Structure 1
Amino acid sequence: MPAAAEVLYLSYNGIGEPLVESQVLAYLRRLAATGLRFTLLTFERRPLAGEHEAALRESLAADGIRWYWLRSRAGWGPLSALLDVRRGLAVVRALHARHGFRLVHARSFLPALIAQRFKRRSGVPFLNDLRGFWVDEKVYRGRLRGDGAVYRIAKRLEAQVLRDSDYIVSLSERGARELAGFAAWRGGTLPPLATIPTCVDLERFRPAPARTPAQPLLGYVGSLSEEYLPEEVVAWFAAVRARLPQSRLELVTRSATAPLQAALARHGVPADCVQLHALPPAQVPARIQRFDAALSFIRPHFAKLASCPTKVGEYLACGVPVISNGGIGDLDALLGAGDTGCVLADFAPEARARSVDHLQRLWQDPALATRCRALAECHFSLAEGCARYAAAYARLLGTTG
């Protein structure tokens, strides 16, 4: 890889979001240590406090990362998203005049749209880092109609961006297989494609000393919005309590908790056996280490075939077995063997009961935590993920002057 190559990284997520720390900055710090020079451009939903912004910029600079940001109009509709693309493109051109980028790494669809338009004028190649099927995610979340004109226009833009990509990264093998069949490739050539899941810093997320769960602590980390099925989380925990009345549930989330509280009441779960925490990212590993099993439920949809829940790798890295539902990324294949958790075929009471039976058997196996950790090391290693990105960068930088 050419020394000191200038790389622009575009993120539509704001700098303070937990996933940016784990899924953007963790990678950039390691890749910058190889000699690459990174410029990070983020889109911020809220204004940043001056002192906090200055301290963060200084900290990132010490890690070899220049940071710039734009105020995002996200959430104001399709026209506002396109305005973000237009404003972002203007800033990218100005930054290119200053730093001379050799490569653009675009995280998700709107940054890829910016990178595509920048490439048309500058010739700078771009890596299209898919974070799921973005357009279909909008349908999944009720923000677009799947039979509407805006959806059809967005899908045409998506096809154009995919065709113009110089390299594509998918979060899952299932997503990569779907990509291979996309209509975008008809009459064209599929760009180089790699699968890199949401990786985990295995030094931060480590197993705690083994213990036998006499009073099982079940855990959950992340959003409790509707797509993450808080009703099913509570229903599953109620099924555990029916078998193991001393069980407790601990949730680490920044989401509003009113829907969860209502679900607890509906399922007759006492409030005193459930704990809620809103923790900074640095404190999350120690909390996960306390779990005896952890949940990752997501409402299935075509868009979710290209997903990889960050929490799953974090759970496994801490030696914690995972209870998931099927139809989400590669989880059926990863957890389907049943020796590191359980995949529910559906949310029927019988499926819940079978998963509880299975979990009780797993808890009797002293090698459980070791197997979970080994799966994380094999599939979710941050070092391996960085190596795959470095290989992609080297391939693209080798084609530029």
Structure 2
Amino acid sequence: MINTNNGKRIVYLTYDGLTDSLGQSQIIPYLKELSKLNNKITIISAEKNEAFLRKREEIQSYLEQNNITWIPIKYTKKPPVLSTINDIYKFAKELKKIYINEGFDIVHCRSYITSIVGLKFKKRYGVKFIFDMRGFWADERIDGNIWSLSNPLYRLVYKYFKRREREFLTNADHVVSLTNNAIETINSSFDIKVLDTDYSVIPCCADLDHFQKTDKNETDRATWRKKLGIKQDAFVLTYLGSLGTWYLTEEMVKFFKILVTKFCPDSVFLVVTHDNIEIIHKSAIIHQISLDLIKTLHADRSQLPEILSVSDAAVSFIKPSFSKKASSPTKLAELFGLGIPVFSNIGVGDIEEYYRTIKSLIVKDFEYETLYDVWDNYFSSGKVDEKVLVDIAHKYFSLNLGVERYNNIYRSL
């Protein structure tokens, strides 16, 4: 049972906007439920202009209905580094206003940028500071080719954030990690010991009442296949999420090519993303795949369960790098909740723990023979039981579980 007594005053800082799809799937659902548990929540978020103009009224109304105060600031992208410093100043300015006018108990900081502000307020005013790290942020920028260490400016910025990372970990009143793998890496490689009582592991969760396998899925499946021009008996492999950086588009297209040329000639690759789809088309051309076999679309979170119902399986290949030890792919929670099998590669977060009972969906490398064998095994050994996938979703990725863990952290501080 979740404790609803002794609610806390929380200010939640996020550099990801609430009007972005990530904010709607990975921030608002948690804070909505935490607000119901007698916590007074204020959110300060950095909003990108296009999404903010499109979604502001809808998000504002929803948050007000759930007794959450929202203070959006404008996200600035250019010039590099200076724009981020400017945004940090804006976060600090708004946070100080709240502290002076209302006060608060806890500053809950999502990732590294906002933690600069959170740690400053802990040291200056004595408020409790939660470092919700979300991953090894600085290393992600190197592994994703966003920053180059050959550039003196980015090398300096990288060293700065690695130094600050250590400060966040050693000064936080509580650390939240997406994976056990990240905590093990910190304790073994960072010359830091994060005590059991000082951290919680909360992977990217999903509202499994929303992402739920129901009888309606069959109707949605037929309806959306017709809308998308997909044959009712075609095998649909789906990719859901961002493109580029750590997401291995080339390898996923290669995986699809083996499917369509060796196993299911009528297969379709459905890509559901808000990113530029040109990267998918370029990979398809390189692998000599007809663009007629690639279907792409944008979708709001509210539409995802019915759209994803067209899927027979999904794929999630992520660059297996140091920084990805700390990653938890959101798509796993959503797709498993719908009973859709997801092919994933090793070397990412706690994937191997989640997949202990469904090892046939694990990809050990991206060599042709390996990818072929994965498909061959999949079709020869029979489909993965949907109930097994749904059970995994509820065991690891339930929003209710994530909310309970966050609420326990708030109560402990």
The alignment's TM-score, normalised by the length of structure 1, stands at: 0.91
In the TM superposition, 1:211-222 aligns within 5 A as: 215-222=234-241
Report the residue type matching 1:368 in the other structure. D
- Residue 229 in 1 paired to residue 245 in 2? no
How many residue pairs get aligned? The number is 392
How high is the sequence identity, in percent, across the aligned residues? 28
CA distance in 2, matches of 1:51, 1:257: 21
Superimposed CA distance per residue, residues 201-253 of structure 1 (whole angstroms, 9 cap, x where no aligned partner): 11011125598x95311111111224211111111001001221121111111
Which residue of the partner structure matches residue 173 of structure 1?
180
Deviation at 1:336, TM superposition (A): 4.5
CA pair 320-239 structure 1, distance change in 2 beyond 3 A? same
Choose which of 379, 386, 393 in structure 1 pairs with 2:403: 386
Q: Which amino acid aligns with 1:155?
A: K
One-letter amino acid of the structure 2 residue matched with residue 373 of structure 1:
V
SS across alignment from 1:185: coil
Q: Output the aligned Cα RMSD.
A: 2.3
1:349 aligns with 2:368: yes
- The 1:50–1:18 alpha-carbon spacing in structure 2 relative to 1, beyond 3 Å, is closer
Deviations 1:13-52, CA, capped at 9 Å, x for gaps:
1121111111110001111111111000001232776795
Deviation of 1:115 (Å): 0.4
Query: Against the structure 1 CA distance between its residues 189 and 196, is the aligned structure 2 distance closer, same or farther, given a 3 Å change threshold?
Result: closer
Partner of 1:24: 27
Deviation at 1:118, TM superposition (A): 0.9
Structure 1: give runs of 5+ residues left out of the alignment: 397-401
SS of residue matched to 2:159: helix
In structure 1, which of residues 219, 238, 244 is the aligned counterpart of residue 264 of structure 2? 244
Of the three residues 194, 212, 223, the one matched with 1:206 is 212
- Specify which of 339, 360, 385 is matched with residue 368 of structure 1: 385
Aligned partner of 1:359 in structure 2 is 378
The residue aligned with 1:270 is 290
Question: Are residues 1:66 and 2:66 paired?
Answer: no
Shift of 1:333: 2.4
1:78 and 2:98 correspond? no
Instruction: Determine if contact 2:238/2:269 at 8 Å carries over to the other structure.
Output: yes
In structure 2, distance between residues paired with 1:319 and 1:309: 16
**TM superposition score normalised by structure 2:** 0.89
Q: Does 1:259 align with 2:300?
A: no
1:87-121 CA distance string (max 9 Å, x none): 21121011122221111111101111110001111
Residue identity opposite 1:166 in structure 2: D
- The change in CA–CA distance for 1:360 and 1:127 in structure 2 (over 3 A counts) is same
More displaced, 134-143 or 102-111? 134-143
Which residue type is aligned with residue 338 of structure 1? I
Query: Deviation at 1:143?
Result: 3.2
* Separation in structure 2 between the aligned mates of residue 189 and residue 202 of structure 1, nearest angstrom: 31
Residues 346 and 352 in structure 2, CA contact (< 8 A), matched pair in contact too: yes
The answer to whether the 8 A contact 1:15-1:21 is kept is yes
Report the equivalent of 2:224. none
| Alignment pair present for 1:296 and 2:316 | yes
**Are the aligned partners of 1:208 and 1:289 in contact in 2 as well (CA < 8 Å)?**
no
Please show how residues 47-66 of structure 1 align to structure 2 within 5 Å: 53-66=56-69
Q: CA deviation at 1:181?
A: 2.8
**Equivalent-residue separation in structure 2 for 1:185 and 1:232 (angstroms):** 36
Q: Which runs of 5+ in 2 are unaligned?
A: 219-231
CA contact (8 A) 1:104 1:126 kept: yes
Structure 2 CA distance for partners of 1:47 and 1:248, relative to 1, 3 Å: closer
| 1: CA distance, partners of 2:23 / 2:186 | 25
Displacement of 1:184 in angstroms is 5.7
Contact 1:6 1:99 in 2 (8 A): no
Which residue identity is paired with 2:335?
Y
1:185 pairs with one of 192, 212, 224: 192
Distance 1:13 1:25 in 2: 11
Secondary structure of the corresponding residue to residue 27 of structure 2: helix
Q: Which residue of 2 aligns with 1:399?
A: none
Tell me which moved more, 4-13 or 266-275: 266-275
Partner SS, residue 79 of structure 2: coil
Instruction: Tell me what 1:162 maps to.
Output: 169
The offset of 1:338, in angstroms, is 2.9
* Structure 1: distance between partners of 2:132 and 2:70: 19
Amino acid at match of 1:358: N
* d(CA) in 2 for partners of 1:387, 1:361: 41
CA offset digits 1:28-84 (Å, max 9, x no partner) = 111111111100000123277679534532321110100001112245322332332
Distance 1:312 1:241 in 2: 23
In 1, are the aligned partners of 2:6 and 2:411 still within 8 Å (CA)? Answer: no
Distance 1:48 1:81, change over 3 A: same
